[in-house]
Amino acid sequence: MKIPLIFIVVVFISITKVSGQTMSASEAYSAPLATYEAVMAGITLDNHLTVVTNFEGGMNIPAGWTLKVRANGNFTNGINTIPLQYVSLKFRGVEGIQGVSGSQVPLTNDDVNLISTTGAITSPPAYYVPFKFDMIVQGGAHLMVPTPGTYRTTLTISLCNSAGAPITSLYSVPLSFTINYDNTCSGTTIGNIYSTSYNFDAYSKLQTGATVTEGITIPYSSNGTNCRGWSLKVKANGNFVNGSSSVPVQNVSLRFNRVPDGSSTNAQIGASSNPIALSMSDVILINQSNAPFGYSVAHTFDMIIAGGGALSAATTQGTYSCPLIFTLYNQNGQLISTKNVSVSFQITYANSTSYTLTLFDPSVSFGYSSISNYLNGMSVAKKNGLKIVGYTAYQVIVKTVGPNLINGANTLPVSIIKLQNASSTNKPGITSTNVSLSANDQVIIVNNLTDHTYQTVEYNLEYLIEANSAITTAPSGTYTTQVVFVILPK
């Protein structure tokens, strides 16, 4: 049995008549862009548009005449639009006349020349003149539209004399192409996210921080969709918190690690290997992926916890948790899936119970209210401001949580503040060192615990800022930092 093959050709025709001359145009059928590869490559449709001029006898148009084209709007399927500049017309040929040439012309909202001429048109013999044009649709992300369909616009085409004045015009010439590739990613979901914690159980770990390799695993299910150009974002819903103590969320970063064997590679996905700091606003982890999901795939991320002042300033032991919101978007920025997960780390390091460190009236405020303050500097004394009870030799370290005092966008270096200390009673077995504040560890007290009278010691503290040009020229406002005191066995 033979099955007949039926080819359907759709032809759109429009006709206008001005001053005895007529023009008509027809658009040929075009195969749809049905795959991702086709959408990215674009398409050239040979002889797609035919423009026909019909002249009455006795017509003579001198050399230099042209055909002009103007797009009457962007391409649309009634829901979405594709900018007109991604579509061009290119002169293919003409029958019955000589001296006509042309090149590829992107569509615009302004009249542009489709052809140039070196010969006149006379009738007879040129009564019926068909011009052929290719249509070139540029491929790329702009064709990754939310809704497939036929995207249409209309053109105004004018026959103009050498001075550019219209002789006759055709105002609603249809032009279209079809996209059947569906890239909405509808049905793709983020599965249950797994996270691995880390325990800071030593002071040295608090200082160096930690990298939890593959600390977060994010599984996806494509459910059969062919999703490309997707993006993954994450947002923190607060800081890392343990009771009354917290660690700023930006102290933790995520870094793309790997994909499972057999799925798209890091390079194919276009994932960056740079650490990306968490924030309470959306940050992009993977941007406009170059590859689709497999049927079922998972991505792993390293969790990088920065060491230093922020961890040292944590005042409670236990689990520090932060809720994260992961969101998946398609090529057009539409949300397709979201998943929440709580990530955490532990701080279990504590000095031996044989030590107690107490700061009395710990707040320090320098109020610059007179010229004398600027000329002579200022100091704030804390008599018996630090008390330590210990039963073995120890040392005290001081540091700030960052290198600067901060006032909005303005900063001053913490090094402008000096810290002096001395035991309130003369104890020759104790070494006290005066320092300029820094974000680095600095030893300010060493107590070798010569005898039992060294077990409970109170220290006088004094913070000083000498006359300083940085203070004089700084914008007014309140500049703040935190100072961390740490006691360690010696």
Contact present, 441 and 399 (Cβ < 8 Å): yes
Least confident of 157-161, 218-222, 353-357: 353-357
337 vs 228, higher pLDDT: 337
Q: What is the pLDDT of residue 13?
A: 41
Percent pLDDT > 70 in the chain is 94
Percent pLDDT > 90 in the chain is 64
Q: Which residue is listed with tokens 């249809």?
A: 174
In the numeric block, which tokens belong to residue 482? Answer: 């935190």
Max mean pLDDT among 252-261, 289-298, 345-354 falls in 252-261
C-alpha distances in Å from residue 341, one per residue of 192, 217, 370? 8, 11, 53
Average pLDDT over residues 469-480: 90
- The distance from CA 410 to its chain's CA centroid, rounded to whole angstroms, is 26
DSSP per-residue string spanning 92-122: EEESS--SEE--EEE--SS-EES-EESS-EE
Do the bridges between strand 199-200 and strand 335-347 make them parallel or antiparallel, or are there none, so unpaired? Answer: parallel
- The distance from CA 280 to its chain's CA centroid, rounded to whole angstroms, is 14
Instruction: Give residues with Cβ within 8 angstroms of 209, minimum separation 6.
Output: 304, 305, 306, 307, 308, 311
Q: What is the pLDDT of residue 141?
A: 84
**Alpha-carbon distance 329 to 227, whole Å?**
10
265 vs 72, higher pLDDT: 72
**Alpha-carbon distance 253 to 210, whole Å?**
11
Q: What is the pLDDT of residue 310?
A: 86
406-454: pLDDT as tens digits:
999 999 999 999 999 999 888 888 999 999 999 999 999 999 888 888 9
pLDDT band at residue 322 under the 50/70/90 scheme:
very high
Q: What is the pLDDT of residue 262?
A: 61
Average pLDDT over residues 254-267: 82
**Alpha-carbon distance 405 to 410, whole Å?**
8
336-394: pLDDT as tens digits:
999 999 999 999 986 555 788 999 999 999 999 899 999 999 999 999 999 999 888 89
> Cα angle vertex 274, ends 268, 277, to 5°?
125
pLDDT band at residue 4 under the 50/70/90 scheme:
very low
156 vs 16, higher pLDDT: 156
Q: What is the pLDDT of residue 6?
A: 33
Does the model's pTM come out above 0.85? no
Q: What is the pLDDT of residue 406?
A: 94
Question: Residue 70: what residue type?
Answer: R
349 SS3 class = coil
Burial class (CB in 10 A: 0-12, 13-18, 19+), 293: buried
Average pLDDT over residues 201-216: 92
Output 450-456 pairs: Cβ under 8 A, ≥24 positions apart.
Answer: 453/427, 454/427, 454/429, 454/430, 455/389, 455/390, 455/391, 456/387, 456/388, 456/389
Average pLDDT over residues 258-271: 79
In the numeric block, which tokens belong to residue 447? Answer: 């107590």
**Alpha-carbon distance 90 to 43, whole Å?**
13
Sign of CA dihedral 361, 366, 367, 371: positive
Q: Is the pLDDT of residue 325 over 60?
A: yes
Q: What is the pLDDT of residue 451?
A: 85
Neighbouring-strand partners of residue 217: 194, 300
Q: What is the pLDDT of residue 260?
A: 72
Contact present, 112 and 89 (Cβ < 8 Å): no
In the numeric block, which tokens belong to residue 382? Answer: 């804390």
Cβ burial 312-343 (10 Å sphere, 16+ → b, else e): bbbeebebbbbebebbbbbbeeeebbebebeb
Burial class (CB in 10 A: 0-12, 13-18, 19+), 490: middle
Contact present, 73 and 173 (Cβ < 8 Å): no
Contact present, 161 and 100 (Cβ < 8 Å): no
How high does pLDDT run on average in the chain?
89
Least confident of 1-10, 151-160, 476-485: 1-10
Q: What is the pLDDT of residue 338?
A: 97
Q: Which residue is listed with tokens 């504040």?
A: 437
Average pLDDT over residues 196-210: 91
Do the bridges between strand 245-247 and strand 194-195 make them parallel or antiparallel, or are there none, so unpaired? Answer: unpaired
Sign of CA dihedral 111, 116, 120, 124: negative
317 Rama class: left (phi>0) / alpha (psi -120 to 50) / beta? beta
Q: Show the domains of the chain with their CATH numbers.
A: 12-179 (2.60.40), 189-347 (2.60.40.3590), 355-489 (2.60.40)
Contact present, 417 and 464 (Cβ < 8 Å): yes
